[in-house]
Structure 1
């Protein structure tokens, strides 16, 4: 049997395919006139291009020559790509015109076998959109002192929290409604995961009401303590003070991309490793892994519940909460488990994919937070490959999927936004999908 049949490959994209949402910059050149222009949306091109260069967000550079095409057709191609790669409205993205059912009918098999066949990939990934999904997760982890809360049904409390989430059993719904007004984005504390020893991992936004802060924190911590079988104390981790912020992460990524893409390797070969270190990307990878490992020790050895605090609770806490669970729970190192982890801690927890991925090319909030998480996971995978059901190829395809803008999974800033957009009859085909084509 040919060796290539054992290799993973991306069935969503061909080797040279470039999704429009993956385009970072478009440059047109005319060799004869020595002219060059960076094309933006609705811009005119005053010369006939002989070459088109596409800089991609995934570090690829794709070049096209127009040696055998007419000058006007070359200009039309360049202007069309520039126009459609920089949409001004969410509903102009390709996913809103895409028919998911048609894709799955035609590409549901690879080499004669269903996609995801074998291992954990054949199981259905819980989407955590329903009460029952959360209830099953609570029971799976044995979190006896916690309950599924439904006060956010219809997103009546917070538009950046899921409709259902898990809270300490001792906290009444009425108290939660009152407390919610004091938190940034009304993102009150919600449960992520419980250790078999009873310690729990909890995420929360910061309390903006300074006068009520101490009182509310005390009530929340007491409730979390009551949910612990041994009534152990709560350990609070302020991520804003201990980890780099999203602006730092974006700056490091830009430097990394410049080093890998823009600078000629021959000129930087001798000092490449030091230049890589100077980007601070690896430093940030280490920082997140180190902090996650410290919290693993608190949860497992000290048997204390951990509360992750972040101003909005939608970025750094996504990484740390996910890493802690990957380190402690073997289920999240399976394909189905890892997908459910992303669904639970990123998609449903309100990670702003639309802004951070900058699908509309106008966000000042762009930051590769999700990529940083995949990189930290890759570091763990490299150290303990036998502990994971998936390979680095899966992580790469997962990152590619954030740039495809094909499904609703990585397209919106919150579950509420996805539901809101899906009320339009034009886009009923938009859905969440973890049947990644590999």
Structure 2
């Protein structure tokens, strides 16, 4: 089979030596050629014009066409973004095409991304379908430099080698494979690229994908030129008031206090300027004890449950410290702040949880399993998928973290005993476990706003080294570790086990992981609060530099895309008393409505209510706000396929998978809203106080099927990775098309409501 590549840059044909021919077609030459052909036909019917009268028009057409396509071939740039180099006539291979299909264009390297631009509009046809989360900061063919994990150079002899960051490449590349942290593979061919551009592009990607200093990251230029203003998403825990507000919400005042002993980071650079400690400890006590702990990471407060038991985190004591005296004093103060009746339970996470080295190795094995670029390789893995997945140990590590968190939750809840999480540094696994414990205990942290606040407090402010763990700058490979991804996976597992108890969806969690890889937000760029301050005031040198928050979703997504972050089951179970709604609706709509669709749904609802009368607890809310018990064995956990397999075309389920269930849940919520709305109207009519529809506005769900979101339903298509379809291009789109989302509304009560909304 011939390899086919369409070129919109040059007017020539090239024969490829491998297995056939590739035809390169130029739109520019076509436009000019057609114009000249038409002009020649007209000239043949009239007197022969002078050369001077034809040449200027021909030149004008050529200039116009060239200018038009030059605009198409230029990448869109963010504030502060600059083009470093480009490679013309680059081939971008379609995934799972065995490098036999693709598109020709220009490859650009900027100080923010690697981007591929082509004048072939058909390759961007899927833009109009809105079939995925459309990020405003990056195009579909863009690769943020901070998202690059490994770069492989394939030489003319077929030899493949990984390129080290900072390495100078002297040989030309036949292919360049870019493996990304979001589990995506991009393959570019340089067969028709000039040698100097070939080397320059390769070296630019290698050099700029992992700079030597953080002030060389694009984030600085973005913050300086973007002119971002402070907003409500700003991290409140950099200030004393943020901690005081949270302490008050949890009734910890009088037993715990906000310490300011670390002002200007004189005590520790791994801790924030403000943190919470037991009331009994003075600043002098803290200064004396800090030197006994690794990186001076003192025991700090995380959370207090309503029974008075608290959660604390700390680093290990230094080997030469007075272990007994120091530890006893700290634990005694924590005990007194927690009621003073039960000793503090110390959980050593270095013994209970996998090490950073084990998690890093497990993450690498998971990426190797999920990142395939050929159908043959995919099916060779598929035949032994479960055993290969088990050998990665990823789900085992996730299960271990859930188990430790569940045990800590049980101790706080049932034993009324405070828990101290101890690890070597105090800012890695303690972030994972402390957040999971608080999510299990407190429904506030299961809301999107509360979850964001929790991550900002326990991860960002308390000093998790995002820059080192994500390897945004050059450093020891041993420091890289996908801890935040493991935490998000743990939360995703809780979402599967308690589908109506968390306000966010898996799309929210996946988008949060993608946001970390962008490298342009204030949230995930630094190693600590001290590091952040140094970047803005010393590294950046200009106080005007400011960056947006990761939680400012409107910077990345449209309002319609953000709707996909909302969990319909959470909305349903927290906004409606379903038991009373269904009981009140029994037979009501069948008597009142004349629509066949309405009668059908009312009859089904009435029959369903009759079948469920023997199960009174079906729609009852749980007695406890705590999420227990938690399944903590790897065999009971699932693979987060939306995050790990969304770019894997052969793994997609057309029209099915978890997104199909999600959309049905969205439809269910809309129907409950419609039903509740109709019941209220009927109740008012019964009281003989009829009012117009405008006086009974239909409540909005904030979900994909809400009235405001109808514009996208006829153009969206469903795969199991929705709203992140596997690489949809002109070459692969036909393999992934399923019915539009509007089909979900067919013959539903919601469709009837939409049809009558203008009456």
Q: Is the CA contact (8 Å cut-off) linking 1:123 and 1:336 kept in structure 2? A: no
Q: Note the alpha carbon deviations across 1:390-430, whole angstroms, 9 max, x for none.
A: 11111112111221111232122111111112113257424
Q: Is the CA contact (8 Å cut-off) linking 1:378 and 1:392 kept in structure 2? A: yes
Q: Note the alpha carbon deviations across 1:303-355, whole angstroms, 9 max, x for none.
A: 11111111111111010001001111111111111111111111111111111
> Which residue of structure 2 aligns with residue 115 of structure 1?
none
Alignment of 1:265-344 (within 5 A): 265-344=378-457
2:493 to 371, 376, 379: 379
Consecutive aligned runs of 4 or more in structure 1 exceeding 6 Å deviation: 3-7
> Which residue of structure 2 aligns with residue 435 of structure 1?
552
Mapped partners of 1:100, 1:423: distance in 2: 12
Alignment of 1:14-413 (within 5 A): 14-31=139-156, 34=158, 36-40=160-164, 41-47=166-172, 49-66=173-190, 69-99=193-223, 102=226, 124=233, 126-144=235-253, 145-208=255-318, 212-229=322-339, 231-261=341-371, 264-363=377-476, 364-413=478-527
Q: Is the CA contact (8 Å cut-off) linking 2:292 and 2:321 kept in structure 1? A: no
Mapped partners of 1:179, 1:166: distance in 2: 15
Question: Residue 30 and residue 171 in structure 1: after superposition, are their counterparts in 2 closer, same or farther (change >3 A)?
Answer: closer
Mapped partners of 2:171, 2:129: distance in 1: 46
Deviation at 1:166, TM superposition (A): 0.4
> Which residue of structure 1 aligns with residue 687 of structure 2?
none
Q: Note the alpha carbon deviations across 1:101-121, whole angstroms, 9 max, x for none.
A: 73869xxxxxxxxxxxxxxxx
Q: More relative contact order in 1 or in 2 (CA 8 Å, sep 6+)?
A: 1
Question: Residue 289 and residue 198 in structure 1: after superposition, are their counterparts in 2 closer, same or farther (change >3 A)?
Answer: same
Mapped partners of 2:202, 2:320: distance in 1: 54
Deviation at 1:203, TM superposition (A): 0.5
Q: Secondary structure at the match of 1:387?
A: coil
Q: Note the alpha carbon deviations across 1:30-51, whole angstroms, 9 max, x for none.
A: 55x545554443413323x343
Deviates more, 1:294-303 or 1:377-386: 377-386
Structure of higher CA gyration radius:
2
Deviates more, 1:237-246 or 1:95-104: 95-104
Question: Residue 63 and residue 241 in structure 1: after superposition, are their counterparts in 2 closer, same or farther (change >3 A)?
Answer: same
Q: Unaligned 5+ residue runs, structure 1?
A: 106-121
Q: Secondary structure at the match of 2:500?
A: helix
2:533 to 416, 419, 432: 419
TM-score of the aligned structures, taking structure 2 as reference length:
0.52
Deviation at 1:10, TM superposition (A): 3.5
Question: Residue 401 and residue 74 in structure 1: after superposition, are their counterparts in 2 closer, same or farther (change >3 A)?
Answer: same
Deviation at 1:232, TM superposition (A): 3.0
Q: Is the CA contact (8 Å cut-off) linking 1:204 and 1:308 kept in structure 2? A: yes
> Which residue of structure 1 aligns with residue 616 of structure 2?
none
Q: Secondary structure at the match of 2:238?
A: coil
Q: Is the CA contact (8 Å cut-off) linking 1:319 and 1:373 kept in structure 2? A: yes
Deviates more, 1:283-292 or 1:89-98: 89-98
Deviation at 1:262, TM superposition (A): 5.0
Question: Residue 167 and residue 79 in structure 1: after superposition, are their counterparts in 2 closer, same or farther (change >3 A)?
Answer: same
Q: Is the CA contact (8 Å cut-off) linking 2:210 and 2:471 kept in structure 1? A: no
